[in-house]
């Protein structure tokens, strides 16, 4: 039982160190300041250059597929479903 408690305590301590080590490692062991992290150049432009055409092409394909399904009556509602049942005023 004691071995289990020790191993679980080490696991908790190691997981805490893994979560916090990136934020606290500003200095090297020698005392030198570490280099700043790498920043991607024009990251937002790269993201938008992929997302906007992807959404546009997806919308275009979806629109044409909906037209195809409706044109060939593969997935279209029946005409009987369009009538209102609330018109019965007897």
Q: How far apart are the C-alpha atoms of 44 and 52, rounded to whole Å?
A: 12
Task: Please compute the mean of the pLDDT values over residues 44-69 and round it to a whole number.
Answer: 96
- Model confidence band, residue 84 (pLDDT cutoffs 50, 70, 90): low
Confidence (pTM): 0.48
Provide the token pair at 42: 């024009």
User: What is the domain partition of the chain in residue ranges?
Assistant: 42-76
């Amino acid at each position: 039982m004691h071995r289990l408690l020790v191993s679980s305590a080490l696991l908790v301590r190691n997981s805490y160190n893994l979560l916090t080590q990136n934020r606290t490692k500003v200095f090297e062991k020698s005392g030198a300041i570490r280099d700043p992290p790498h920043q991607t150049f024009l990251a937002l432009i790269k993201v938008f250059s992929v997302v906007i055409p992807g959404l546009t092409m997806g919308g275009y394909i979806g629109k044409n597929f909906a037209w195809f399904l409706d044109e060939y009556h593969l997935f279209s509602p029946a005409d009987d479903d369009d009538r209102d049942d609330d018109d019965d005023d007897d």
